[in-house]
Amino acid sequence: MIWLEKPLKLEAPCVVGSSSPLSMLETNSIQMNFMIFLGTGGGGKVVFSQARASGGLYFNMDRVKFLIDPGPGSLVNMRSLKLKDPNGILLSHLHPDHSTDANMILDGLKNSFLIAEEHCLKISKRYYPCVSKYQQSLVKFLKPVKAGDVVKIPESEIRIEVTKADHYVPTVGFKIIGSKTIGYPCDGPYFSGQERQFEKCDAIIFNVLVPHGKVPMEHKHMSVDNVIAFLKKLEHKPELVIIQHFSFWMLKSNVHEQAKIIEKNAGIKTIAAKDFMKINLDLLKEEKSGLGRFV
Ligand SMILES: [Zn+2]
Ligand SMILES: [Zn+2]
C-alpha cells in the first residue's frame, strides 16, 4: 500500500453567495452533497450503442469528490457538465464498462486516491489489470481491496466498507459511509445474506439488468426480483432505492415501471436513474433545478 505523503487537496467549505466565477451548476454543487449519474447504461451492447451513457457515478460528499466505476464517456460527460476534478476513484471490477476512463482521469489528477478491487491493479493468472502500471504510479493513495476490507478515504471522514458480490469476474461492492450512507452492491445476482452488508444505508444503488418476472439464461446479473428479495430481507431499510446500469432488456421493459414494481413490493421509494440525473444526498431526492436542466 502507498500511503499519502501529502494531504489531498480538498475544497474549502462552501460560502453561500461567494463571488467566485463558478457556474450556477458548480455553485449549487458546492453547497450540497450530491451524486450524478454520468451514465446509466450497463453491459456491452448498451454501452457500445450509447443508448444510455456509461460514465459511472460522480460523488461530491463531505467535500470529497470521487468517481465510482468510470466507464466509457465518464471524462467527457464530467467535462460537459463542468464538474470539478475528482479527488479519486473507486473501481468495483475490471470490466470495461466500469473502468475504461480510469487511466485517463488518473493521468490528469494530482494527489489522487484509487481504491480498486485488487485484480484491477495486479496481474494474476486469469486477469490483466485495467489500470496501467504507470497510472498506478501517479496515484498518491493506492489501495487494492477485496470483500471485507474497510478503507478510509485519506484526509476525510468517509469510510468505505468493501462488500462481496457474486459476479463472474472478481468484483466488489461498496458501502460508502459519510454524512450519508450509500450502498452500491454492484454487478452480480443476489445471493443469500448479501443484504446484511447493506444494513442502515440511506440509499442503495442497484445495477439491474433483468426485468421483473424474468430469469436470465446465465447467472450473471441482478434482476428486479433479486432487488425485491434483497430489500425485503433488510432489517434497516434505506429511504431511497435507485436502479441503473440498464441492459436493453430493462430499457425495453420500461425502467420506470420496473422501479414502481420494486417500490410496491418492497415498500421503499424507488426511482429509475436517468443519464446525468443529480441526487441531492442531503435530502435524498432528485435535484430537478441543477443538472436536471440538461437531461
Ligand atoms: Zn457492469
Ligand atoms: Zn461486470
Give the domain CATH number at 68: 3.60.15.10
Distance in Å, CA 118 to ligand 1 centroid: 17
Residues 89 and 57: their CA atoms lie apart, in Å, by 10
Where does the chain show beta strands of DSSP type E? 34-39, 54-61, 64-68, 88-91, 113-117, 141-145, 150-152, 159-164, 172-177, 181-186, 203-210, 222-223, 240-244, 269-272, 278-280, 285-286
Report how far Cα 199 is from the mean position of its chain's Cα atoms.
18
Q: How confident is the model at residue 293 (pLDDT cuts 50, 70, 90)?
A: very low
Contact 224, 261 (CB under 8 A): yes
Kind plus residue range of the DSSP H or E element containing 15: none
pLDDT score for 290:
52
Neighbours of ion ligand 1 (CB under 5 A): 42, 97, 187
Model pLDDT for residues 147-170, shown as the tens digit of each residue: 999 999 999 999 999 999 999 999
User: Is residue 284, in this structure, part of any structural domain at all?
Assistant: yes
User: Is residue 7, in this structure, part of any structural domain at all?
Assistant: no
Q: Which ligand is nearest to the CA of 169?
A: 2
Mean pLDDT of 117-123: 97
Q: Which ligand is nearest to the CA of 170?
A: 2
What lies within 8 Å, CB to CB, of 48 at 6+ separation is none
Distance in Å, CA 56 to ligand 2 centroid: 12
pLDDT score for 8:
55
User: Is residue 101, in this structure, part of any structural domain at all?
Assistant: yes
Q: Which ligand is nearest to the CA of 168?
A: 2
pTM reported for the whole predicted model: 0.89
Q: How confident is the model at residue 288 (pLDDT cuts 50, 70, 90)?
A: confident
User: Is residue 149, in this structure, part of any structural domain at all?
Assistant: yes
Whether residue 74 has pLDDT greater than 80:
yes
pLDDT score for 93:
98
What lies within 8 Å, CB to CB, of 232 at 6+ separation is 265, 266
Cell triple for 87:
479527488
Distance in Å, CA 34 to ligand 1 centroid: 22
State the total domains in the chain: 1
Give the percent of the chain with pLDDT over 70: 87
* Count of alpha carbons within 13 angstroms of residue 72, beta-carbon side: 16
Distance in Å, CA 93 to ligand 2 centroid: 7
Q: Which ligand is nearest to the CA of 72?
A: 1
What lies within 8 Å, CB to CB, of 244 at 6+ separation is 37, 40, 42, 205, 206, 207, 208, 272, 273
Mean pLDDT of 55-77: 98
User: Is residue 179, in this structure, part of any structural domain at all?
Assistant: yes
Q: Which domain holds residue 256?
A: 31-290
Distance in Å, CA 154 to ligand 2 centroid: 27
What's the chain's length in residues? 295
> Is residue 47 exposed (0-12), middle (13-18) or buried (19+ Cβ within 10 Å)?
buried
Distance in Å, CA 96 to ligand 2 centroid: 8
pLDDT score for 69:
98
Task: Tell me which residue has cell 452492491.
Answer: 185
User: Is residue 11, in this structure, part of any structural domain at all?
Assistant: no
The radius of gyration of the chain from alpha carbons, rounded to an integer in Å, stands at: 18
User: Is residue 252, in this structure, part of any structural domain at all?
Assistant: yes
User: Is residue 267, in this structure, part of any structural domain at all?
Assistant: yes
Residues 250 and 266: their CA atoms lie apart, in Å, by 19
Model pLDDT for residues 2-17, shown as the tens digit of each residue: 444 344 555 544 433 3
Model pLDDT for residues 198-248, shown as the tens digit of each residue: 999 999 999 999 999 998 778 899 999 999 999 999 999 999 999 999 999
Residue 104 main-chain phi, psi, to 5 deg: -65, -40
